[in-house]
Structure formats: structure tokens, C-alpha cells
Amino acid sequence: MLPLGLGGPGHFAAVRDFFRSVGYTEPAVCKQLSVDGLHQLLSGSQKSEPSAPKEAPNALAALMRLFLVGNSASREWLDGFIPATVQDSMEALGILCADNAQPGRCYSPVAIYPVRGLFIASDRWKNPDGSPVAAIDDYVFPAIHLLTHQFLELLPTSSCETLLDLGSGTGIAALLASQEYARQSWAVDITARATQFGEFNRRLNALSNARVLQGNLYEPVEGLRFERIVAHPPFVPSMERGAIYADGGGDGEQITRAIVQGLPRFLERRGCLYCSTMGVEREGEPYEQRVRQWLDPDESAFDVLFVAERTQGPTQFAYRATRHAKGSWDQMDEWCAHLEKLKVKNFVYGLLLIQEKDSTRSAFTVRRQKAEYTGAAQVQWLRDWESTWAGAPSGEFLLASRPLVSPHLELQIVQTNRHGELLPSKYTLRTAYPFEVEGECTKWMATLVARCDGKVTALELFAAGKREKWIPPDMPDEEFASILGALVSKGILQIAGFFPPCEADRKPQP
Ligand SMILES: C[S@@+](CC[C@H](N)C(=O)[O-])C[C@H]1O[C@@H](n2cnc3c(N)ncnc32)[C@H](O)[C@@H]1O
């Protein structure tokens, strides 16, 4: 049953104006609950379970009690904080109902909370008595879930003409885009319930430049093309049908694969997909390479960039899936056999970025590991750098640059005892900004990095290295430039025009 009403614009305006007038904002609510972000309410990382204030001192606390904590309240109590006309509008919109089990009390059948300046309704995660809600197939995923929060944090907010949000749930990504940076957005979800919540949220926030449509992925937008496509699709592998918000088919990749395969038809020239998802690595087949194959026969027209966040092995996944389903050892064995058949070496979760490339250059495929401070700006930096570098394969601009060693770099030198003498035997470069990078390098690379002071050109360093014999004598300058490019790409060296986002933009990510 669909819980919401989409009644007249007057009701939406009355509720919206009231929410605004009492300061129902994310910072105000977080302060009341002593959390850094509302995603902490659902991630279990908050210090203690938030509860409704015993005596609500004001209207803000009353809204939190009804719509976020989700308790019921007596009519008399509510009358002290919410004007009767606003309560009437809430009832007309289906967000305030009489509690049949407790005469004289009322509750909200949905959750509504502020997210970055919007008011967003989703399904609740608890019943008014505090018990967990019963599972339903078309559950509307809360926009304050940690995974949605992480997805939103990695989306660019630069202006764009058209944006499509696939598997939109509450519509949060499309609605934020419409409010902040997109001329027009489209939100598509397969369930009637999510579509109703999305449309409700669009009206509640009075966003006339967003459209909310129901259908299977691209089906409702056939014939259109988009500058930006964003998605946080279901990605959980399943052996039998699960909730629609989570179930990604046998390998978890079914929906993500269909999204990627639709790009040649639905992405505009130079357009880009940002997709928070999980996928499979097989022996000798990293995830990003497998994704590239999904684009066949158009794969050479696209760049693929994957920012990995978490990795888990098949046994770990099988154990968690079994525990989540309160299953037996036999079920765990079934899971292991299922994943073995799929040749799963690892599951990787992260941000998949695919862009239609400039036709004059070759395509790139890049993978990085997300670091504590990696956000949308750092991902955009990598995308810009790789696009430029792929367009200038001779590396002349690199040879003319004055590389500077990253302030975040650590060079570790291991010395081992050889015939009574301690000699350097291993060089390791490590940085945690803008991405997590760690790898062994040769002695000459360690020397090069140490000499990159931002004053000397790379060509001068190359000549000095040859003269002083710390660079291999037979190394051509193109190979040297290519190694420099890789060091810039990994955030080990920096060059003018491509400094990673400045320190002030560093923001720890959850
Ligand atoms: C994990 S939820 C994410 C919701 C929202 N984007 C967010 O980040 O909060 C995935 C959503 O994809 C929708 N979905 C699943 N299969 C779909 C399909 N084939 N086409 C469109 N939407 C789909 C589900 O109904 C659900 O709302």
C-alpha cells in the first residue's frame, strides 16, 4: 500500500514553510542528537541510540519526535507545537495518522528528515514502539543511510545541463542536483512506492526542474541523452529473490551491468556516469577491466575509473550473508559453492566512473584506493589529470614541468645486512592523499622523487640523472616522462596546473 498523499500544492507549502520556520535543518537536528551527520543514526556508529526528548521544549523537537525518532504523540501534546492548520495539511498528505492502537495519539507512517537543505521522506526503519519494521520488497531506502551518504559525497556538484538518477529511491540525488547544480534532472525507480516517495519529495521541496518516473532503468527516458548519469543501484548478490533495493542478481552485478551497457545510448558526448556499487574480481580480471568489457563493442570510446573503498573475500561474504539471513552451515556451504562457480576472488565496493572520451586520444582504465580524505574533488582531480595525460602521450609537457614531491609522501628505505654492511635493499613510496597509494620503487626513482623540489624542470633532472649516473643509461626520455606521469597520477609528485585539491578542501569521509 502506498502511504503518501499527493494532495494540493497548498498542503506541501504549509508543511514546508512550517519545517523551515522552526529550523528543521540538518545542523540543528545533529546538534540535538549529538551526532556529526544523520547517517550515523542508521550506521550504528552513534554513541547511544537517539530518543525523543522526554519533554519536548519546542516545535523542532516535536518534528524530530514524529518524523525522525518516529515515536507517537498525543494530540494534545502536538497541539502545543504544531498549528492545527499544519496538522491538517500533514494529515492530507498522509504523513500524520491516528494511532488506532492508542486512541488520542498519532504518528507518522513515514520518516521525514532534512538532507542538505531538502526535506526527504522515506520508509521508516523502526515502528513507533521501537521494534524494527517488517521487511517489504519495495522498501524505500532512507536517504540518510550511510551508503547513500557516501554516494552523495562522491558526486560532483559542478553545474550540468541534464542529470539522470537511476534507481533513485527517495529521489535524493536527482532532487539535490535540481536544487543545487543541474538545469533539469530525472529520477527513475522501478517500484511504484519509490516513485511515489520521489514525487512527494519533489513537491515537498517545490522543485519544478525535476521529473520523477517509474520504470526499469532507462526505459522511461528512451530517446533522451544525459550529461551526467548517477546511480546507487542494488548490488547485493542473491541466491533467491531479495528486497528490490538490495538484490543485484546472482553475482550482484545485474543492475550495474545494465546501467553500464546503456551508456553508449544514453550518455551525451563527453558525458559521465558516477555509480556507487559493488562488483566481482576474478583471478587475472580486475573489476575495472571486467566493466570495460561490458561496454563492448563501444569500449574504446570510454574511460573507466574505479575508486575502491572496501574489499571482501567470498568466504567472508558467504559468512555475512548467512549470518544476516540467520542461516545454517549448509546455507553457508551453498553460498561458497555459488561464489566458487562465479569464480569470485573478491568483492570490491566503490565508485565507478565512466566517461565518454575525447575521440582524439586513447582510452584509460585507472583504479585507486579511497583514502580518509578522498571526496568528490579528489576524484574530479584524478579524472582531469588522466584525461589530460592520455591526450598527450609524448609527455613533452611533463618534461617541461617542474615536479614537486607531495607533502604527504613517505619514502621508506629498508637496509639489510650484506656481508656485515647495512645496505639499502628496498624502497617503498606511500601516500594517503589524495588516494591511498603504496608501492615499491627502484633506487633511481627514490632519488628522483627526493630531488623534485618544484624548481628544476623534469628535463633538467633527466639530464642530471644521466650525467650523475643515477638514471639507467639506456632510458629514453619518453619512458622517463611516462614514469613521471604515473607518479603524478598516484599523487606522489605534483605539477603546476594539476595540484590536487588544496588542503582546505580536505574533509574526512565516513
Ligand atoms: C540501494 S537503493 C538506492 C536508492 C537511492 N538512489 C539512494 O541512494 O538512497 C536502490 C534503488 O534502486 C531501485 N531499483 C532496483 N532495480 C531497479 C531497476 N531495474 N530500475 C530502476 N530502479 C531500480 C530500487 O527500487 C531502489 O530504490
Q: What is the CATH number of the domain that holds 483?
A: 3.90.930
The verdict on residue 330 lying in a domain is no
Q: In degrees, to the nearest 5, what angle opens at C-alpha 149 toward C-alphas 148 and 152?
A: 85
Nearest atom within ligand 1 for CA of residue 148: 8
CA-closest residue to ligand 1 atom 26: 245
User: 172: CA distance to ligand 1 center in Å?
Assistant: 11
Domain membership flag for residue 243: yes
Distance from Cα 20 to the centre of ligand 1, integer Å? 29
- Do 26 and 98 belong to one domain? yes
User: If you write DSSP's letter for every residue of 406-420 in order, what string do you get?
Assistant: -TT-EEEEEEEEETT
Relative to the CA of 216, which ligand 1 atom is closest? 20
Testing ligand 1's pocket by substitution, the residue of 186, 189, 197 carrying the most ligand atoms inside 8 A of its CB is 189
The whole-number pLDDT of residue 49 equals 54
**CA 205 → CA 14, 20, 42, 68, 117, distances in Å?**
11, 11, 24, 18, 9
Residue 65 is classified by DSSP as I
Pocket perturbation via mutation, ligand 1, pick of 141, 213, 230, 254 by most ligand atoms within 8 A of CB: 141
Sign, CA dihedral 97-99-103-105, equals negative
Inside any domain, residue 140 = no
Query: Rounded to the nearest whole angstrom, what is the distance from the C-alpha of residue 324 to the centroid of ligand 1?
Result: 21
Q: Are 173 and 284 in a shared domain?
A: yes
Q: 311 and 180: one domain? A: yes
Looking up residue 213, the CATH number of its domain turns out to be 3.40.50.150
Is residue 494 a contact partner of residue 381, using CB atoms and an 8 Å limit?
Answer: no
Residues 361, 419 share a domain: no
Within 6 Å (CB) of ligand 1, which residues are found?
141, 143, 148, 151, 166-170, 172-173, 188-191, 194, 216-217, 232-234, 244-245, 255
Residue 47: per-residue pLDDT: 46
- pLDDT on residue 1: 73
Task: Decide if 332 is inside a domain.
Answer: no
Q: How far is the CA of 232 from the centre of ligand 1 (A)?
A: 7
Distance 262 CA to ligand 1 centre (A): 16
- On whether both 261 and 383 belong to a single domain, the answer is yes
Q: DSSP string covering 91-115, please?
A: HHTTSSEE-TTSTTEEE-SSEEEEE
CA 97 to chain centre: 35
Q: Has residue 88 been placed in a domain?
A: yes
Per-residue pLDDT of the chain (510 residues; tens, 9 = 90+): 788 988 788 999 999 999 999 999 999 999 998 898 999 888 755 444 555 555 457 999 999 999 999 999 999 999 999 999 999 999 999 999 999 888 999 999 999 999 999 999 999 999 988 888 999 999 999 999 999 999 999 999 999 999 999 999 999 999 999 999 999 999 999 999 999 999 999 999 999 999 999 999 999 999 999 999 999 999 999 998 889 999 999 999 999 999 999 999 999 999 999 999 999 999 999 999 999 999 999 999 999 999 999 999 999 999 999 998 888 889 999 999 999 999 999 999 999 999 999 988 999 999 999 999 999 999 999 999 999 999 998 889 999 999 999 999 999 999 999 999 999 999 999 999 999 999 999 999 999 999 999 999 999 999 999 999 999 999 999 999 999 999 999 999 999 999 999 755 555 555
Tell me how far the alpha carbon of residue 145 lies from the centroid of ligand 1, in angstroms. Answer: 13
pLDDT at 52: 54
| Residue 206 and residue 285 in one domain | yes
Q: Do 357 and 497 belong together in one domain?
A: no
Q: What is the pLDDT of residue 6?
A: 85
Closest-CA residue, ligand 1 atom 14, reads: 167
Nearest CA to ligand 1 atom 8: 148
Q: Which residues contact 278 (CB under 8 A, 6 or more apart)?
A: 235, 236, 248, 252, 347, 348, 349, 350
Whether residue 157 sits in one domain with residue 185? yes
Boundaries of domain holding 467: 397-505
What's the pLDDT score for residue 324?
A: 87
The best mutation among 212, 235, 245 to test binding of ligand 1, ranked by most ligand atoms within 8 Å of the C-beta, falls on 245
What's the pTM value of the predicted model, to 2 decimals?
0.94
For residue 145, the ligand 1 atom closest to its alpha carbon is 9
111 and 209 share a domain?
Answer: no
DSSP of 353-372, one letter per residue?
A: EEEEPPTTS---EEEEEE-T
In-domain check, residue 277: yes
Centre of ligand 1 from the C-alpha of residue 154, in Å: 18
**What are the angstrom distances between the C-alpha of 16 and each of 8, 143, 203, 497?**
13, 18, 10, 44
Q: Which atom of ligand 1 is nearest to the CA of 143?
A: 9
> Per the structure, how many domains does the chain have?
3
Tell me which of 391, 415, 444 is where a domain ends: 391
Dist. CA 48 → ligand 1 center (Å): 30
Asked if residue 372 is part of any domain, the answer here is yes
Cross-strand pairs, 303: 355
How far, in Å, is the centroid of ligand 1 from the Cα of 56?
A: 36
Task: Report the pLDDT value the prediction gives residue 260, as an integer from 0 to 100.
Answer: 98
Same domain, 118 and 90: yes
Whether 14 and 69 map to the same domain: the answer is yes
Ligand 1 atom having least distance to the Cα of 147: 8
**DSSP labels for 373-384?**
T--HHHHHHHHH
| 307 and 161 in a common domain | yes
Residue 497 lies inside a defined structural domain of this protein: yes
For ligand 1, atom 4, name the residue with the nearest CA.
169
> Cα(94) to centroid of ligand 1, in Å?
23
